[in-house]
A and B are shown apart, each in its own frame.
Chain A
Amino acid sequence: MTEHVLNAEGLNCPLPILKAKKALKSVPQGEILLVRSTDPGSVADFAAFCNQTGNELISSSTEGNIYKFEIKRS
Chain B
Amino acid sequence: MLDNDSQGNLENAKSMSIIVTKGTLDWAYPPFILATTAAAMDINVTMFFTFYGLPLLNKNLDLKISTLGNPAMKMPMMGMHMAMPNIAPMIPGVDRLTTTMMKNLIKKKGVASIPELRDAAVDLDVRMIGCQMTMDLFEFDHKDMIEGIEIGGAATYMETAVKSDINLYI
Q: Which residues of A contact B (CB under 8 A)?
A: 10-15, 17-18, 20-22, 24-25, 38-39, 48-49, 52-55, 73-74
Contacts of B120 in A (CB 8 A): 18
Residues B108-137 near A (CB distance < 8 A): 109-112, 120, 123-124
Shortest Cβ distance from B112 into A: residue: A15
Q: Looking across the interface, which residue of chain B has its beta carbon closest to that of A24?
A: B7
Secondary structure dominating the interface of B: loop
Q: List 22 A-B contacts (CB under 8 A).
A: A10-B110, A11-B110, A11-B112, A12-B109, A12-B110, A13-B33, A14-B112, A17-B37, A17-B41, A18-B36, A18-B40, A18-B124, A21-B40, A21-B124, A22-B123, A24-B5, A48-B41, A49-B40, A49-B41, A52-B41, A52-B42, A53-B40
Interface residues of chain B, those whose CB is within 8 Å of chain A, are 3, 5, 7, 9, 33, 36-37, 40-43, 109-112, 120, 123-124
Give the docked Cα–Cα distance between A10 and B42 (Å). Answer: 25
User: Would B33 and A14 count as touching, CB distance under 8 A?
Assistant: yes
Query: Given known contacts A14-B37, A25-B3, A74-B7, what 17 new A-B pairs fall within 8 Å (CB)?
Result: A12-B109, A12-B110, A12-B111, A14-B33, A14-B36, A15-B112, A18-B120, A21-B40, A21-B124, A22-B123, A24-B5, A48-B41, A52-B41, A52-B42, A53-B40, A53-B42, A55-B7
Q: What residues of chain A lie closer than 8 Å to B33, measured between beta carbons?
A: 13-14
Within 8 Å CB of A20, what residues of B? Answer: 40
Hey, which chain A residues are within 8 Å of B7, CB to CB?
24-25, 53-55, 73-74
Chain B residues near A55 (CB-CB < 8 A): 7
Residues of A contacting B40 with CB < 8 Å? 14, 17-18, 20-21, 49, 53
Shortest CB-to-CB span from A40 to chain B, Å, is 12
Residue of A nearest to B7 (CB): A53
Among residues of A, the one whose C-beta sits closest to the C-beta of B43 is: A52
The distance in angstroms between the C-alpha atoms of A55 and B41, with both chains bound, is 10
Please give me the residue from chain A that is nearest to B5 by CB atom: A25
A12→B111 CA distance, assembly (Å): 5
Q: In the complex, what distance in Å separates the CA atom of A49 from the CA atom of B41?
A: 6
Nearest residue (CB) in B for A15 is: B112
